[in-house]
Structure formats: C-alpha cells, structure tokens
C-alpha cells in the first residue's frame, strides 16, 4: 500500500521496492547495471541531465534519511534502532554509482536479492512512521501533479510565444523548467522540491517587480495572475502556505 505521506525514508523504500518488482531476484542476476535498472523504473534516460539529476537524488536518499533521524527529538536507544541497516543502504548506493550490477546493489542490503524481506526495507518503514509522526507531509496526488504539469507547460508555451524582453522571458522559462523537472522527479525529491521550485519562481518575481509592465503589454498579466493562484491553490492545500503567492499577485496588480 502506498503511503499518503512524503519523506526521504518513504521515497527510498518505494523506489527500492519498485525496482525489485520490475527486476525480481532471478531477473536481477542478469547482466544489467543498477544504474540502468533504476533509470528504467524512474522513467528517465540514464545519460540525460534529468536522468542524472534523478539518479543522483536516489544516491543521496540514505544520507537524507540519516540526517532526518538524527534531527528527531528522541532518546539515543531509539535513534540507534532507527539507524540500523542504513549503512547497508549507503553501501548499495556506492555500488549504484560504481555502475555495478543490480544484483550487487541489492545484495548490499538484501541477502539473496530478496528486497521486500530485508531488514533494511523493514527499517525504512519504521523510520518513515517516525518521521511522519514528527512532521507529516502529504504527498501530492497524481491528479495534482498532472494539473501542475499542464499549467506549467501551458505557461511555458505562452511565454515562449509572447513578445517579452529577453531577460524577463529567460527568467520565467528558467524557473518554469525547474518546476517541470521537479514534477517529473517527484518520486525522488518529493513534494518539497515542487514547492521549492514554485517558491523560487515567486521569489524571483518579487525581486523583479519591473516584470509586471512587460507582461501586461504582452497580454499575459491577467493570465499569469490566474496561473499563480491556480498553482498556489494546488500546492498550498493542507499547508496554509498561500502568503507568498498572494504577495506576488498583489505586486503584479
């Protein structure tokens, strides 16, 4: 069952289980590198910039899990229990980076390649529950992600076709591309990356209030205000984080 919550432990656990489901123990012994197998499951080209970004994010997940466990307010014995087996996942990521076989990646934390039964996977479930209790973050639904992707793609087309100064067009397209990448790699980087890319875009606009006039002259100002409100509404549901979006809308008039 997919967890409704989003944290590094949940994401790492689900990625490992998804790779195992696509490449179960016997198939994992075929001569395929972990790098290629993970890229296929994540739906990215392993040599593309987006693929490299996503795979590097997977490699970092065990370290993020460890950092978040150590940030929890708990007794040392409980912390030690939660950190058990995470070193084996770090070892697995070293095999992944070294382009070793998928079987070698799995064997670093799952004897015989039986990923679902491994102590590391069971441990990640315990860590995910602890993180959820301390700071629950709801995952973005597929419907929400599809809506955001459609909104971003539509605005990218409008900005690309509009008569805007080059600096304003580049500013907007750069941040819109980052938002699209965050949506495409949400299984690795989570809701936080989508929210962060949107917040970064709004922050850039606040630093460039002069963008309002060119947008108005290009006939995009009203559409852009509606776009901010729409995306802000999707991302801010359940978080109360609407203030920044409203501030930008006010700045745009």
pLDDT for 205-237, tens place per residue? 888 888 889 998 999 988 988 999 899 999 875
pLDDT at 248: 63
Among residues 99, 134, 169, the one where a domain terminates is: 134
Which residues neighbour 165 within 8 Å (Cβ) at sequence distance 6 or greater?
214
Per the prediction, the chain carries an average pLDDT of: 91
Q: Are 102 and 34 in contact (CB under 8 A)?
A: yes
Is residue 119 located within the same domain as residue 177?
Answer: no
To 5 degrees, how large is the angle CA 22–CA 5–CA 41?
Answer: 20
Is residue 13 located within the same domain as residue 105?
Answer: yes
Report, as an integer, the average pLDDT of 151-171.
95
Is residue 115 located within the same domain as residue 44?
Answer: yes
In this structure, what is the dihedral angle of CA atoms 194, 50, 38, 31, given to the nearest 10 degrees? Answer: 180
Which residues neighbour 15 within 8 Å (Cβ) at sequence distance 6 or greater?
38, 41, 42, 58, 61, 187, 188
pLDDT at 1: 59
pLDDT higher than threshold 70 for residue 244: no
Is residue 206 located within the same domain as residue 224?
Answer: yes
Report, as an integer, the average pLDDT of 167-189.
96
From 237, 222, 236, select the one nearest 155 (Cα to Cα). 222
Helix, strand, coil fractions of the chain, as percent rounded to 5 = 75, 0, 20
Among residues 134, 167, 188, the one where a domain terminates is: 134
Question: Do the domain assignments include residue 21?
Answer: yes
Is residue 129 located within the same domain as residue 169?
Answer: no
Q: How confident is the model at residue 251 (pLDDT cuts 50, 70, 90)?
A: low
Is residue 74 located within the same domain as residue 191?
Answer: no
CA atoms within 13 A on the CB side of 15: 31
pLDDT higher than threshold 80 for residue 2: no
Structural domain total, the chain: 2
Q: And the tokens for 97?
A: 């980076």
CA–CA dist 122, 138 (Å, integer): 21
Q: How confident is the model at residue 249 (pLDDT cuts 50, 70, 90)?
A: low
Among residues 101, 134, 167, the one where a domain terminates is: 134
Q: Any bridge partners for residue 138, and if so which?
A: 5
Host domain of residue 67: 8-134
Residue 163 to residues 84, 114, 168, 241: CA-CA distances in angstroms? 57, 57, 10, 32
């Amino acid at each position: 069952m997919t967890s409704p919550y989003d944290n590094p432990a949940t994401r790492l656990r689900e990625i490992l289980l998804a790779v195992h489901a696509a490449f179960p123990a016997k198939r994992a012994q075929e001569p395929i590198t972990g790098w290629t197998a993970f890229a296929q499951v994540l739906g990215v080209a392993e040599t593309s910039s987006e693929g490299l970004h996503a795979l590097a994010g997977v490699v970092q997940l065990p370290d993020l899990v460890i950092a978040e466990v150590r940030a929890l307010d708990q007794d040392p014995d409980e912390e030690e229990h939660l950190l058990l087996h995470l070193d084996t996942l770090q070892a697995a990521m070293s095999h992944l980076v070294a382009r070793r076989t998928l079987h070698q990646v799995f064997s670093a934390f799952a004897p015989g390649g039986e990923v679902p039964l491994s102590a590391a996977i069971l441990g990640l479930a315990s860590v995910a529950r602890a993180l959820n209790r301390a700071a629950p973050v709801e995952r973005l639904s597929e419907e929400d992600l599809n809506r955001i992707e459609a909104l971003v793609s539509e605005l990218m087309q409008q900005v690309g076709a509009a008569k805007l100064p080059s600096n304003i067009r580049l500013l907007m397209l750069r941040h819109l591309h980052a938002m699209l990448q965050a949506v495409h790699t949400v299984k690795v980087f989570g809701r936080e990356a989508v929210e962060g890319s949107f917040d970064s875009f709004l922050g850039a606009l606040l630093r460039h209030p002069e963008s309002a006039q060119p947008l108005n002259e290009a006939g995009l100002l009203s559409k852009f205000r509606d776009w901010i409100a729409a995306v802000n509404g999707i991302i801010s549901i359940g978080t109360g984080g609407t203030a920044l979006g409203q501030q930008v809308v006010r700045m745009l008039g």
